[in-house]
Amino acid sequence: MEFDKNLESLIDSWIEENKESYLKDLASLIEIKSVSKEDEDGFKYGKGCHDVLVKAKEIASSYGFNCVNPEDKYLLIKYGNTKNKKIGIFNHLDVVPEGSSWINPPYKLTYKDGFVIGRGVADNKGAAIASLYALRYLKEHSISLNHPVELFYGAAEETGMDDIEAYKKSNEVPYFSIVPDTDFPVCHGEKGNMRFTLSKKVSSAVLNMEAGEVINAVPAYATATLKGCYRIDEKNIECEYIDSNTVIKAYGKAGHAAFPEESDNAVKNLFYALSKLDTGDDELNKTFSIFYQCVSKSYGEGLGIDISDEPSGKLTSMGTILRFDNNTIYLSFDTRTPVTVSIDSVDNKIKEFASKNGMSYNLESSSSPSYTALDSDIVKLLCSIAEHIHKKDFKPYTMGGGTYCRKLPFALGFGPGLKDAPNLFEAGKGHGHQSDECILLSLLLADIKAAILALIGIDKII
């Protein structure tokens, strides 16, 4: 792509002039605790998600955009009215729960040392406002495109993507879509996703177990309560003794389930400690060992599903939600399958594992991988834009993270992050799904420019 220096100068000046406006709009979304909870408080995804869609509509409408909010599930912001194939931009305004160990307030935008901090700044409210500002620029400078653009703000991306499924039932899906929920340059493939639960009944010696809030977030805390008094001398484990019972508390590092190397699963640490106990019940001891086997490694080894391929690497599998009910342990997994591997083949292997170990298995949901070949003209275009803006050589990549791309027929992840971007905090903090989530403001502002250039470029080649 050839770049117009005069256009770029205008874009850069406009972004600088509107930086404070951008921060104000972003702050108004960060203030809303938009954790998606289905049918809570009389709203489809809970009051927080209702409120954030209303606020986003208010912001977009103030800039003169036509907005639609069907069934309180998502917001559509439209630019252009030609009958040609649509270009889509897909962002989400729901966030994962804040968890613990924040230094800064999670629901107040903090600006420090060039970073913005708050739940959702990186995933995905910062990019959502950047997408809107890209359309603002086009509108305010009367730049007409041959193809209409539709900006989608979802409210259930973190909890199964029911929002985009509802959208697809009622709307023509864009011919091509950008999903700014990744890193630059271009994510051209996403692993498949499986969410399943393994369960097993145990003796009355177990009184309770609990960990995790949402399935794609690795928990930093897990707990189990057992009858009797046990002494456990293990790393990341504390014990409390209440009424002749032992409350075992396990600690780890929170993170995104798709990137296990960035976290330390508290569920793994809990079952490791439990597997070392002698409860006097051979069957219970065996059950603890089996569950530890399931979570002891992050790449499916314990389940017999350690699979990889050349385009996307290893399968990942993280047990993230632990519950106990009716004398039964329930452990739910977020598993990401390589782009060339069928969901059915992995499903069959897990069934075999469950049957062999006397466990029940329930596959709650699955989605197929997303993959676009590297020789695609749009992959090349977006990569050239990213290289031009960030002044570095890039290679398109695949990932385990799941975005709206996997729900769309032709979509690519495009920013706003950089894999080697600095982090204001120590390991285990600062990234999406972690405490003190942060991102450089300069990256979000660069994302506005990238989106403007991408829309102009895509409009010419589709």
41 pLDDT higher than 90: no
Supply the range of the domain harboring residue 276.
192-367
CATH code for the domain of 171? 3.40.630.10
- Report CA dihedral (90, 193, 434, 237) to the nearest 10 degrees: 170
- Residue 168 shares a structural domain with residue 196: no
- Residue 58 shares a structural domain with residue 106: yes
Q: What percent of the chain has pLDDT over 70?
A: 100
Report the Cα 430 to chain-centroid distance in Å.
Answer: 14
- Residue ending a domain, choose from 352, 367, 382: 367
- Residue 310 shares a structural domain with residue 229: yes
Helix, strand or coil for residue 13? helix
- Residue 337 shares a structural domain with residue 417: no
- Residue 208 shares a structural domain with residue 240: yes
Grade residue 80 by pLDDT with cuts at 50, 70 and 90: very high
- What are the pLDDT digits (tens) for 414-425? 999 999 999 999
- The pLDDT assigned to 276 comes to 94
- Residue 71 shares a structural domain with residue 185: yes
Q: Left if phi > 0, otherwise alpha if psi is -120 to 50, otherwise beta: which for 450?
A: alpha
* Residue bearing tokens 């047990």: 319
- The pLDDT assigned to 428 comes to 85
288 pLDDT higher than 90: yes
CA–CA separation, 153 vs 146, rounded Å? 23
- What are the pLDDT digits (tens) for 167-184? 999 999 999 999 999 999
Report the Cα 76 to chain-centroid distance in Å.
Answer: 21
CA–CA separation, 251 vs 80, rounded Å? 51
Grade residue 401 by pLDDT with cuts at 50, 70 and 90: confident
Helix, strand or coil for residue 95? strand
Q: Left if phi > 0, otherwise alpha if psi is -120 to 50, otherwise beta: which for 434?
A: beta
19 pLDDT higher than 90: yes
- β-pair partners for 294: none
- Residue ending a domain, choose from 367, 400, 416: 367
- What are the pLDDT digits (tens) for 356-377? 999 999 999 998 889 998 999 9
- Residue 210 shares a structural domain with residue 271: yes
148 pLDDT higher than 90: yes
Grade residue 262 by pLDDT with cuts at 50, 70 and 90: confident
- The pLDDT assigned to 81 comes to 85
CA–CA separation, 390 vs 381, rounded Å? 14
CA–CA separation, 428 vs 436, rounded Å? 10
- β-pair partners for 314: 308
CB 412 within 8 A of CB 372: yes
Count of residues making up the chain: 462
Instruction: Give the pair of three-digit tokens for residue 147.
Output: 């193809």
CA–CA separation, 323 vs 321, rounded Å? 7
- Residue ending a domain, choose from 343, 367, 391: 367
Nearest to 153 by CA among 75, 89, 52: 75
- Residue 181 shares a structural domain with residue 207: no
CB 91 within 8 A of CB 413: no
Q: Left if phi > 0, otherwise alpha if psi is -120 to 50, otherwise beta: which for 67?
A: beta
- Residue 79 shares a structural domain with residue 210: no
- The pLDDT assigned to 451 comes to 98
- Residue 341 shares a structural domain with residue 293: yes
- Residue 303 shares a structural domain with residue 361: yes
CATH code for the domain of 304? 3.30.70.360
Strands 115-117 and 438-440, sheet pairing: antiparallel
Taking residues 26-38, report their average pLDDT.
97
- Residue 383 shares a structural domain with residue 427: yes
- Phi/psi of residue 30, each to 5°? -60, -35
Q: Left if phi > 0, otherwise alpha if psi is -120 to 50, otherwise beta: which for 296?
A: alpha
Grade residue 2 by pLDDT with cuts at 50, 70 and 90: confident
> What domain count does the chain have?
2
CA–CA separation, 418 vs 184, rounded Å? 6
